[in-house]
Structure 1
Amino acid sequence: MDWAVLYMRLFAGAMMLFHNIGKIQNYNEIIASYPTVLNINPAVVFVVVSVAEVLLAVLVIMGLWVRQAAFLMALGVLLTFVWGGLGAGEPEFVWLGIYVFLIVSGSGFYGFDTALAAAGGKKRPIEQ
């Protein structure tokens, strides 16, 4: 199971990074379809969303704070469904499923979360 979680983390993180590279390369075509959220310029929304997705994808790949990162990405997909103007549909539903899997599984054995927990050590009760 830990190998499956590692694969899913690497796959989802890499796909999100490649997705963002494509968005950045096609900035001029994409920016027109970005919504104005709370009266914020679409260019600003694009930059904030892209930076957040890249940082969260790197956290998922590293296995650091995976549940929190996947939750934030799932929240972003749900917001896409709410706004609906970005072509919400089947691909977003697949991404939501992947993020829910990562929320449930966490980083697995092969992630920085596990290494940090082991390095911190578990406190033992005082023996009498």
Structure 2
Amino acid sequence: TGTATRPAGYRTAARLIRLADRLGIPVLTLVDTPGAANDAEAERQGAGAAIADLFGTVASARTPVTTLVIGEGGSGGALALAAPGNTWATPDSYFSVIAPELAAAILKRPPREVESTADQLRIRPQDLVELGVIRGTVGG
């Protein structure tokens, strides 16, 4: 699975999407991250601002942007890379504002309840299609 994305990664993605937009080149983003790095250094490096800029860049791109979630798709850090209305997922991926392990911990549920928490979050591709969050699945 992916690793937490650093602020520089979000800035690089935004810069490349803006360049592709200027050149009229379609963009494919691949998502495999539990989300943004959330340590003190990431905060000092402007993680929040970098994610916000990427959200705006993806949303305002005139060139087509397509997203494929290929593994973990957790947190706003993954959501920032997702193309509104044009996000797809592989059958074994998930996409959510929070990882099921973290959601269970916040809800003070024991580790054995992570799977039922994931069910309640409806983060699996088939759930996301049904909810209209993603367009469909690819591969299989």
TMscore range, shorter length: under 0.3
Ranked by relative contact order (alpha carbons within 8 Å, sequence separation 6 or more), the top structure is 1
Normalised by the length of structure 1, the TM-score is 0.26
Please report the TM-score for the alignment, with normalisation by the length of structure 2: 0.25
The structure with the larger Rg is 1
Q: Which has the higher helix share?
A: 1
Higher strand share: 2
